[in-house]
């Protein structure tokens, strides 16, 4: 009979799942650029594309135990997963938009009214999700009709019909409608970060702040994420004890959204953009942090748009730093 406590068994289970997760990330890493391009074409903007990539990776990982085929073609498997997620999300968004239009409610503020109206109009004029998936698979990634039909779990005739309907209707890139954080708040955080002033950094955040490092982990609560081995400590230490690594933060505007660029250099070498962070604020403080250090395609797109030199790192690099070898 096992003498382990429930807490010990949970810790063992978490460690096992993290090892399995990193093995999975290492396996799919060669297909990630193509997956990102596919999601980028489907969603129309970089933020929604990266979110769809992350949802796809999580869904793909969770469904692996149900796969009978052990010789999985990752490209097709993840493209099919992304397609299903995108179609489901678009249908839910349209349904929610129609419900809002049908149900009376208290009059919202003028800005909120405009956002709802513009968002609803955009949703209702979008290409259907099936048409968009078919066009991206066929014309961007050059899948055959048979391959596209198999990935979308439909017939070749249905794919042909979707292509015919959608070729003239494909929407322009869809701008993200997410609210941008206060630029002044982001600059306050940057100033505190560059001064290595942990108290000032804490003062920019809610007690319930969440720090989400895509694919690598999530910390919740200010007292949790400011420990030396957690988000604030890891960022201040450059994710590495290497004393030759120098870094600084910068507030930059990408498509009108203030983000935090993290510049790093080794010794006297060149300075490069290695990661960036995006915030959501509430009541004048940071409520959610998204860290894109392990999102190479998103890093490259943002860096290219800003004219900044970018260095990306593989999942295995972070795996070693997190002690998951």
Does residue 198 belong to any structural domain of this protein?
yes
Residues 201 and 303 in one domain: yes
Residues 18 and 161 in one domain: yes
Does residue 247 belong to any structural domain of this protein?
yes
Does residue 308 belong to any structural domain of this protein?
yes
Residues 107 and 256 in one domain: no
Residues 14 and 126 in one domain: yes
Domain end residue (candidates: 141, 166, 191):
166
Domain span at residue 260 reads: 183-321
Residues 150 and 295 in one domain: no
The pLDDT value recorded for residue 129 is: 65
Domain end residue (candidates: 166, 201, 219):
166
Domain end residue (candidates: 102, 131, 166):
166
The CA–CA distances, whole Å, from 163 to 43, 60, 73, 94 equal 18, 27, 25, 21
Question: For the CA atoms of 267, 268, 272, 276, what is the dihedral angle to 10 degrees?
Answer: 40
Q: Is residue 249 pLDDT above 50, yes or no?
A: yes
Model confidence over 210-241: pLDDT tens digits? 999 998 888 888 888 887 778 887 887 776 66
Residues 24 and 146 in one domain: yes
DSSP 199-226: HHHHHTEEEEEEEEETTTEEEESHHHHT
Range with lowest mean pLDDT among 73-77, 118-122, 183-187: 118-122
Does residue 174 belong to any structural domain of this protein?
no
Number of H helices, E strands in the chain: 14, 6
Q: What is the CATH number of the domain that holds 121?
A: 1.20.140.160
Confidence of residue 70 (pLDDT cuts 50, 70, 90): low
Residues 133 and 222 in one domain: no
Residues 156 and 11 in one domain: yes
The pLDDT value recorded for residue 125 is: 42
Classified as helix, coil or strand, 140 is helix
Does residue 177 belong to any structural domain of this protein?
no
Residues 253 and 151 in one domain: no
Model confidence over 26-48: pLDDT tens digits? 999 999 999 999 899 888 889 99
Residues 158 and 242 in one domain: no
More confident residue, 161 or 74: 74
Number of structural domains in the chain: 2
Residues 248 and 298 in one domain: yes
Confidence of residue 121 (pLDDT cuts 50, 70, 90): very low
Contacts of 295 (CB under 8 A, 6+ apart): 50, 53, 214, 215
Confidence of residue 146 (pLDDT cuts 50, 70, 90): confident
Q: Is residue 292 pLDDT above 50, yes or no?
A: yes
Residues 91 and 199 in one domain: no
CA atoms within 13 A on the CB side of 57: 25
Q: What is the CATH number of the domain that holds 242?
A: 3.10.450.50
The pLDDT value recorded for residue 241 is: 63
The CA–CA distances, whole Å, from 293 to 87, 215, 296 equal 28, 10, 7
Q: Is residue 124 pLDDT above 90, yes or no?
A: no
């Amino acid at each position: 009979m096992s003498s382990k406590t429930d807490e010990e068994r949970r810790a063992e289970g978490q460690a096992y799942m993290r090892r399995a997760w990193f093995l999975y990330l290492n396996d799919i890493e060669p297909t990630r650029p193509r997956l990102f391009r596919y999601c980028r074409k489907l969603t129309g903007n970089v933020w929604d594309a990266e979110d769809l990539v992350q949802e796809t990776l999580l869904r793909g990982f969770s469904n692996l135990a149900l796969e009978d085929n052990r010789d999985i073609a990752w490209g097709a498997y993840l493209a099919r997963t992304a397609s299903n997620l995108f179609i489901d999300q678009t249908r839910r968004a349209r349904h929610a938009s129609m419900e809002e239009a049908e149900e009376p409610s208290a009059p919202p503020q003028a800005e909120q009214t405009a956002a709802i109206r513009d968002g609803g109009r955009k949703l209702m004029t979008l290409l259907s999700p099936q048409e968009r998936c078919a066009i991206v698979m066929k014309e961007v990634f050059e899948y055959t009709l048979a391959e596209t039909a198999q990935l979308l779990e439909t017939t070749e005739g249905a794919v042909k019909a979707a292509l015919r309907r959608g070729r003239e209707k494909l929407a322009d890139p869809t701008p993200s409608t997410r609210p941008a954080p206060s630029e002044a708040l982001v600059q306050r955080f940057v100033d505190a970060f560059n001064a290595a002033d942990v108290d000032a950094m804490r003062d920019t955040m809610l007690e319930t702040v969440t720090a989400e490092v895509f694919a690598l982990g999530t910390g919740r609560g200010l007292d949790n994420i400011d420990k030396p081995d957690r988000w604030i400590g890891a960022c201040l230490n450059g994710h590495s004890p290497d004393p030759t690594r120098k870094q600084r933060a910068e507030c930059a505007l990408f498509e009108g959204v203030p983000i935090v660029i993290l510049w790093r250099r080794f010794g006297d070498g060149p300075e490069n953009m290695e990661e960036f962070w995006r915030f959501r604020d509430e009541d004048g403080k940071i409520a959610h942090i998204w860290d894109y250090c392990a999102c190479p395609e998103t890093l490259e797109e943002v860096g290219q748009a800003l004219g900044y030199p970018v260095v990306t790192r593989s999942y295995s690099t972070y795996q070693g730093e997190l002690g998951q070898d």
